Each structure stands twice: as C-alpha cells, then as structure tokens.
C-alpha cells in the first residue's frame, strides 16, 4: 500500500516537472506583447506574470520532489538500516509522510498542470501542444490509490491521533532545528523566520487533532484535507530551505551551481531535455532563478535553440498525440 501510494505521489511530481518543462519551452518561443523600453514584441517569458507562474511551477515541483526523496530514503532505511531503533524511526517517518506525498503532491500537480495550460494561453486548451493531456493526466492522480480525503483520514487518524503526534513532533523538531540554525544566516534569515511561523501553525494543527480526534471527530475530519495540504506546504518549505542552506554553503566554498549537462543516450532523451533547457542561446535553464537575462531575440532561436541535432528533437505535441493514440 505504501509503495503504491508513494508511486502515485511520484507520478504527480513527474507530471509537474513535465508541465513545467513544456511551459518553460513555450514561454521562450511564444512572441506576444511588448515590454517598456524594448523595440518590437517580446517572448512571453519576459512578462512578470508569466515568470510568476513559471517560478510557482518550478518551486513547488522542487519542493515536492525533495519531500518525496525524504520519504523514499525512510522507506529504504526502514527495511535496511542495521540498527533496529533507526529502522523503527524511519518506518514511523515514512508512514507519516506517505499520505502527505500522495495527497499533497497529486493535488499540487493538478494546480501546476493547470498553470502550464495558462502559460500556453489558448494553445494550452487545444490538443496540439499536449499540455491539455498533461492536465487530464494529473487530474486522476488525487483520485486513484485512495482519494485525497482517504489520505487525509489516514494522516489524522492513524498517523497523528493514534501515536499522539509523536512521529509528527519528531519531524517538527527537525524543522525547528533548521529554522533556528538559519536565523542569523545572511540571505536566509527572513525565510527562516517565516518558516518558523509556519512550523508553529503546523504544530498547533497537530495538537488540535491529537486532543480533539476522540472528542470532536467530525470537526477534525472536516479539516483533514486542509491539514494534509498544510503539512505538505510546510514540509516542502522545509526542504526548499534546506536546499537553499546547502546551496549557500557551496557557493561560499566557491563551488559553481551551474546546471550539469546530461549524458542521456540520444534515443532516450525526453522531449524537452535538460540540454534543450540549458541551451546557452536561450540563457534560461530549469535551474535558473529567472534573474538571468532572458533571450533578446526569440527569432534567433527559431530552430528551438537546441544544441541537439534536429533528428533528436520532437515537435510540440508529437509525443502526446502518439501517447493518446496508444491508449
Ligand atoms: C483511470 C482509473 C484507473 C484506476 N485503476 C485502478 C486500479 O488499477 N486498481 C484499483 O483497485 N482501482 C483502480 N481505480 C479505482 C480508484 O482507485 C477509485 O476510483 C478511487 O479509489 C476512488 O474510489 P471511488 O471511485 O469509489 O470514489 P468514492 O469512494 O465513491 O469517492 C467519491 C468521493 O467521496 C469521498 N469519500 C469517500 N469516502 C470517504 C470518506 N470515508 N471520508 C471522506 N471522503 C470520502 C472521496 O474522497 C471522493 O471525493 C481506478 C480508477 C480510475 C478512474
């Protein structure tokens, strides 16, 4: 059961990444509107609201992927760690996180895929780009392997109330240790303070569930899905803050954080591969913070801007149409 639910949560992460990559590629190609101080029309990636949507898609996807990785490590360590006490600790953490990974990642994937359609404008609503199919594919994920309400019931009943919140409190202590440690870190202190408030909110919600589950079941139950989402948002923020702290340490040590080039064999490259995304002519990569200057002349990238040979590139919608036919 855990493995199946975890896999559907990962499906949400994968669909979100796919939606982001499609939206990013389209935003670099689609020329529409003008920008103050610029001559002529610009690629839509230049518009602040498009960048807002792309950043939301990217940051949420990264948060979900990182949280899923934490759950995956615990699933493995629960079976394989040499110490029994560590196996028990990891099992409790995995049990706690599985409904969150399944419920939050899949619900968020629907929002991300919807944003992907929005970035595409009218082209997102029709089939040629393939993103309408991404939206449909993501919409089933909060339903099968237990709807979000079933995950939330599992979270509040079996994972919080039954152990009096012990596993959740251990996780909350880890989160507090991170925010406390970053309180005086330049560049991260403000985020750490906001995160500390979020952890307080999560702890209050957990305390409410633990104290009221046996008394006011219906009131706890009506807030179960919002609590699951709160849990995911705070835990995802925990992972993004951890990532920022690690990136900060590496930058201070003089390491480059440039996106690594992939060495995927040509035939197995995804439609929008990392290499395509990292094309120096586009100067916008999936790991970029969008502070890099976007392309000045989108027409200069009319070949897709890809360093790949044309035979390795797939036009918009091609892969998705064949996937639909295959069904
Ligand atoms: C494309 C697809 C593929 C599928 N593949 C498989 C498969 O391979 N194997 C398999 O076993 N099943 C499969 N299913 C079935 C799927 O697991 C169920 O559809 C899913 O679990 C929801 O159950 P249901 O459809 O009976 O909805 P219902 O259980 O009737 O739910 C309807 C609504 O009521 C809510 N609800 C129900 N009970 C509660 C409760 N106790 N508390 C709060 N809210 C509740 C739900 O959250 C939902 O909002 C598939 C379904 C689809 C659409």
Round to whole Å and give the CA distance between 157 and 19. 33
Structural domains of the chain sorted by starting position, each given as residue range(s) with its CATH number in brackets: 1-146+273-305 (1.20.140.10), 149-255 (no CATH)
3-state secondary structure (DSSP) of residue 195: helix
Tell me how far the alpha carbon of residue 144 lies from the centroid of ligand 1, in angstroms: 6
Does the beta carbon of 221 lie inside 6 Å of ligand 1? no
Q: Are 146 and 225 in contact (CB under 8 A)?
A: no
State the CB neighbour count (10 A cutoff) for residue 226. Answer: 11
Question: Which atom of ligand 1 approaches the CA of 145 most closely?
Answer: 17
Tell how many helices (H) and how many strands (E) occur in the chain.
Answer: 12, 2
**pTM reported for the whole predicted model:** 0.80
Question: Which atom of ligand 1 approaches the CA of 148 most closely?
Answer: 47
The secondary element (H helix, E strand) that includes residue 84 is: helix 84-120
Q: Which residues of the chain, if any, have pLDDT below 50?
A: 263-327
Round to whole Å and give the CA distance between 115 and 108. 11
**184-242 pLDDT per residue, tens:** 999 999 999 999 999 999 999 999 999 999 999 999 999 999 999 999 999 999 999 99
Tokens of 313: 């590139």
Instruction: Classify burial at 200, counting beta carbons within 10 Å of its beta carbon; exposed 0-12, middle 13-18, buried 19 or more.
Output: middle
Q: Which of 147, 154, 157 to mutate for ligand 1's pocket (most ligand atoms within 8 Å of CB)?
A: 147
Round to whole Å and give the CA distance between 135 and 27. 18
List 11, 17, 107, 145, catalytic entry: 145
Helices 2-29 and 131-140 cross at an angle (nearest 10°) of: 160
User: 34 - beta bridge partners?
Assistant: 41
Q: Which of 7, 133, 136, 150 to mutate for ligand 1's pocket (most ligand atoms within 8 Å of CB)?
A: 150
User: CA 321: distance to chain centroid?
Assistant: 25
- Going by CA atoms, what residue is nearest to atom 28 of ligand 1? 147
pLDDT of residue 308: 34
């Amino acid at each position: 059961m855990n493995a199946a639910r975890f896999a559907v949560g990962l499906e949400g992460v994968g669909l979100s990444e796919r939606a982001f990559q499609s939206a990013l590629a389209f935003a670099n190609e689609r020329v529409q509107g003008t920008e103050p101080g610029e001559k002529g029309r610009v690629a839509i990636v230049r518009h602040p609201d498009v960048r807002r949507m792309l950043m939301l898609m990217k940051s949420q996807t990264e948060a979900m992927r990182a949280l899923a990785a934490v759950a995956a490590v615990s699933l493995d360590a629960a079976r394989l760690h040499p110490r029994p006490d560590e196996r028990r600790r990891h099992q409790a953490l995995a049990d706690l996180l599985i409904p969150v990974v399944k419920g939050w990642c899949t619900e968020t994937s629907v929002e991300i895929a919807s944003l992907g359609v929005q970035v595409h404008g009218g082209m997102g609503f029709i089939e040629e780009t393939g993103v309408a199919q991404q939206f449909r594919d993501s919409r089933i994920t909060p339903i099968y392997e237990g709807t979000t309400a079933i995950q939330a019931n599992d979270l509040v009943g079996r994972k919080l109330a039954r152990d009096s919140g012990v596993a959740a409190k251990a996780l909350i202590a880890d989160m507090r240790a991170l925010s406390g440690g970053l309180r005086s870190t330049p560049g991260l202190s403000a985020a750490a303070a906001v995160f500390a408030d979020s952890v307080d909110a999560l702890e209050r919600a957990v305390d409410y569930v633990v104290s009221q589950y046996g008394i006011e079941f219906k009131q706890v139950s009506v807030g179960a899905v919002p609590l699951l989402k709160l849990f995911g948002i705070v835990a995802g923020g925990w992972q993004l803050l951890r990532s920022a702290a690690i990136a900060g340490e590496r930058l201070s040590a003089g390491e480059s954080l440039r996106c690594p080039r992939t060495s995927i064999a040509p035939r197995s490259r995804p439609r929008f591969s990392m290499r395509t995304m990292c094309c120096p002519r586009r100067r916008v990569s999936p790991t970029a913070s969008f502070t890099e200057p976007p392309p000045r002349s989108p027409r200069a990238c009319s070949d897709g801007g890809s360093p790949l040979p044309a035979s390795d590139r797939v036009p918009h919608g091609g892969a998705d149409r064949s996937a639909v036919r295959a069904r």
